[in-house]
Amino acid sequence: MKPDQERLKIFDLLNVYVMKETNEIYHRELRPFAMLEREEQVLFLNHFRKALTGAFDHKLFEVKFRPEPSEEQPEHTRDILYESLQTEDSGAWADRMMQIADKMLGGSPCDYDRVITFARGQFNKPVKRREDESEEEERMEAYLFRFHLCTVTRTEQPPKTLIFDYIEKAFKPNLSLDPIINLAAPEAGFLFPCLSDDSADVNHVLYTAGKANMPDTRFIEDVLNCEPKPTAQEDRELFTEIVRDVAGDALPAATLAQVYGEIHQMIEESEEPDAPMLDCRDVERILTDSGLEGVTRDKVEEAFLLAANDVHYELKATSVIPKYTGKSIKIQTKAATITLSPQDLPYVRQVVHKGKRYLMIELEEDAVIEGFTVKAEDLEP
């Protein structure tokens, strides 16, 4: 999503302005992307890149189409999108996109005007060179990927500011009433189809949420006709509840590090392209191998039932350990909150000395506070 990118071509852009009071379409505009001024092209490319940026299961979600549409909306969004990929006529494509826009207007009116943007284009992904080919023999074929991209953006009223008129050489208030389209912060969107192993996956849509871990369930179900999926945060919280129910609230830091290590090893050893899923049997094995005593299948199944209301629920492995969620580990105490990398957890212990609890961190070098080296002190026996 960069200007002058030879492998990327956007054909058409459709903008739809929706009024907040009535939830009705006030204006629509279909334009060839090549006819836009360069500055406007850059604005939209940055906007699209922003919409497609984020961590999976936090801000980006690969959601699967439901087998059948709802009774209220008999035409499936999957069929609309798939058929639209086949057409070369811009007007016909725009009419099909308006059907999806109409689905977006089925919810409650917002307290601000919105702009729905549809784009269609393609990009060429070079074929990977075989190991037995030299750079000179590298094949020039490319995989052609056609796509639809949609974003939903809110509008804002321009702030009251003071401007300087160069012609009249005077300071004046800015009296513009034109709403500002906040392209820097798309509130929702999707990309169709998904790209998987150099092939188009027309059974899934890449949905993007406006904020991390806050997907719009109505958008996923009613607009995209897809199945919602849990966020990484929800899976992580469920995993914490399950472990607490089985092993209790208090765990040694070394044991917790061992649990994370077992899951990390399971992910690294998986040969599947998707992250492995953890069911109750996997959790039972992980907790047992981590040294926890008294772990049984019945306890784990009961914990799954209490936390997820489903004994057959599966947790995404990459969602439950900090290494893959992009999160650091926070150790919270009344005195301070300490942030650690997950790999440093084995060096942390809570100890009791002379009746008082201390947090002990094993160090390989002197600690430094505000440029001062902390002097080592021997604990009194």
pLDDT, position 142: 67
Confidence at 74, pLDDT banded by 50, 70, 90: low
Can you give the pLDDT at residue 137?
A: 47
Is the per-residue pLDDT at 132 higher than 60? no
Query: CA 41, CA 47: separation in Å to the nearest integer?
Result: 10
**Residue 117, pLDDT score:** 96
The whole-number pLDDT of residue 225 equals: 92
Average pLDDT over the chain reads 85
Q: Has residue 73 got a pLDDT over 80?
A: no
Summarised one tens digit per residue, pLDDT across range 306-345 is 998 888 999 998 888 776 555 667 777 887 787 777 677 7
Name the pLDDT band for 350 (thresholds 50, 70, 90): confident
Q: What is the mean pLDDT of residues 343-366?
A: 80
**Tally of CA atoms within 13 A in the half-sphere of 333 that contains its CB:** 10
Decide if pLDDT at 356 tops 60: yes
239-252 confidence digits (pLDDT tens): 989 998 988 877 77
Which tens digits make up the pLDDT trace of 151-210?
A: 999 988 888 888 888 998 888 887 777 788 888 889 999 999 988 777 788 999 999 999
pTM over 0.75: yes
- When comparing pLDDT for 132 and 318, which is higher? 318
Ramachandran angles phi, psi of 164, nearest 5°: -115, 125
